[in-house]
Amino acid sequence: MASFPPLQNDRLLRVARGETTDRTPVWMMRQAGRYLPEYQEVRAEHDFFEVVETPELAAEVTLQPVDRLPVDGAIIFSDIMTVPQAMGLEVTMVSGQGPTFPHPLETPDDLERLVEPDVGDALGHVFEALTVTRQKLEGRVPLIGFSGAPWTLMAYMVEGGGSKSYRHARAWLHRHPEAAKDLLRRTTDVVVDYLIGQVEAGAQMLQVFDSWAGLHGPDTFRAFCYPFLDEVASRVKSACPDVPLVVFAKNAHYALDALADTDYDVISLDWSMDPGAARDTVGDRAVLQGNLDPCALYAPPDALRRRVQHMLAGFGPHHHIANLGHGMLPDHDPEHARVFVETVHEQSEQMRTV
């Protein structure tokens, strides 16, 4: 493994490992993105996947929010769609529409089109981006790697893009349950290798995004979502025992108790969940991350500060990583992101002194 500059601010990693710190660490999902004019400038010159696939550009964009805001972590600029691409599916980023698959998986026969990638070959550009970014961070904050979760990736691969109900993907669970499990198993293998490769390349914490976990009911969650999430954590944890793992299973309220029994160290909550109730369910089995409604960033600064204060009070001073309940939105004001981050720091320090 390459050698990297020593870490100066390790609050994020310490809290993720269950330690206490002098203040609550904070970062934002999608903190590198369209709300930043400096990101828009890069995108004016380069296609989305060109940025993802060019390590120097990906590193530049990853550092933009870290240069601008006092966040406690950097998340590598990439996309969850890198895994379906590595498995042989074409994905384009269509403006206003998001990721689009010209040839999605329509029937189980289409699984034959998938390849079993060597992640070093297929996703080496992401590993290189992590290594370059870790060098350029100069130890300011830890670098977070990520992957989509098997179910969320399946949802996109079958649906062919974003959708309101994901009915094609959900129909597969009932029409073709064995083929669905085959696809989920194959995706799990790639996700595991991909996450372990990210650690070898320089990632210091990993987040698994199951953004569409909330499409399930408890039964299909147990059969098609949870086992694969669980397996990703146990296999990655046994290969990289010191690297904190975070899971974000958006809208899967019924899953909280079960997720606390996995090898994920941190459970990221969306904004619909009550911090105190989540803490009661999870107890000391996991650290919690989240969960300010991204739309609270549209509030005037004073109202925003009150929302942040309320959120921090709900989680309490320890075993909490502050974040949004989902990603930054394109028309957010970067100065409101600053209010969010600075308020977390100020208020969480104060909470420890009273």
Least distance (Å) from ligand CP3 to the CB of residue 212? 8
Binding ligand CP3 (rule: CB under 6 A), the pick from 35, 127, 194, 209 is: 209
Binding ligand CP3 (rule: CB under 6 A), the pick from 327, 338, 342, 351 is: 327
Of 213 and 279, which CB lies nearer to ligand CP3 in the complex structure? 213
Least distance (Å) from ligand CP3 to the CB of residue 167? 17
β-strand partners of 324: 292
Of 183 and 279, which CB lies nearer to ligand CP3 in the complex structure? 183
Q: Which residues contact 31 (CB under 8 A, 6 or more apart)?
A: 65, 69, 71, 75, 328, 337
Least distance (Å) from ligand CP3 to the CB of residue 93? 6
Does the protein bind ligand CP3 through residue 271 (CB under 6 A)? no
Q: For residues 297, 300, 304 and 305, what is the CA-based torsion angle, rounded to 10 degrees?
A: 140
Does the protein bind ligand CP3 through residue 29 (CB under 6 A)? yes
Spatial contact of 289 and 268, defined as CB atoms under 8 Å apart = yes
Does the protein bind ligand CP3 through residue 43 (CB under 6 A)? yes
At 238, which amino acid appears? Answer: S
Least distance (Å) from ligand CP3 to the CB of residue 72? 14
Of 80 and 132, which CB lies nearer to ligand CP3 in the complex structure? 80
Separation between Cα atoms, residue 141 and residue 207, nearest integer Å:
16
Least distance (Å) from ligand CP3 to the CB of residue 34? 5
Spatial contact of 152 and 211, defined as CB atoms under 8 Å apart = yes
Binding ligand CP3 (rule: CB under 6 A), the pick from 77, 166, 172, 194 is: 77
Least distance (Å) from ligand CP3 to the CB of residue 256? 18
Of 198 and 211, which CB lies nearer to ligand CP3 in the complex structure? 211
Separation between Cα atoms, residue 83 and residue 194, nearest integer Å:
8
At 153, which amino acid appears? Answer: L
SS3 at position 289? strand
The catalytic residue positions are 30, 34, 43, 79, 156
Q: Looking at residues 132 to 151 of the shown chain, list those that interact with ligand CP3 (rule: CB under 6 A).
A: 146
Binding ligand CP3 (rule: CB under 6 A), the pick from 98, 120, 177, 276 is: 98
Does the protein bind ligand CP3 through residue 48 (CB under 6 A)? yes
DSSP 270: P
Compute the 3-state secondary structure of the chain and give helix, strand, coil in percent, each to the nearest 5. 55, 10, 35
Least distance (Å) from ligand CP3 to the CB of residue 144? 8
Of 170 and 279, which CB lies nearer to ligand CP3 in the complex structure? 170
Name the one residue in this structure whose structure tokens are 């993907």: 169
Binding ligand CP3 (rule: CB under 6 A), the pick from 80, 137, 233, 267 is: 80
Comparing CA positions, the residue from 43, 47, 38 lying closest to residue 67 is 38
Q: Which two tokens stand for residue 159?
A: 């649906």
SS3 at position 83? helix
SS3 at position 102? coil
* Count of C-beta atoms within a 10 Å radius of residue 144: 25
Q: Which two tokens stand for residue 228?
A: 């694969």
Window contacting ligand CP3 (CB under 6 A); options: 32-40, 221-229, 230-238, 333-341: 32-40
Does the protein bind ligand CP3 through residue 18 (CB under 6 A)? no
Q: Which residues bind ligand CP3 (CB under 6 A)?
A: 29-34, 43, 48, 75, 77, 79-81, 93, 98-99, 146, 162, 209, 211, 327
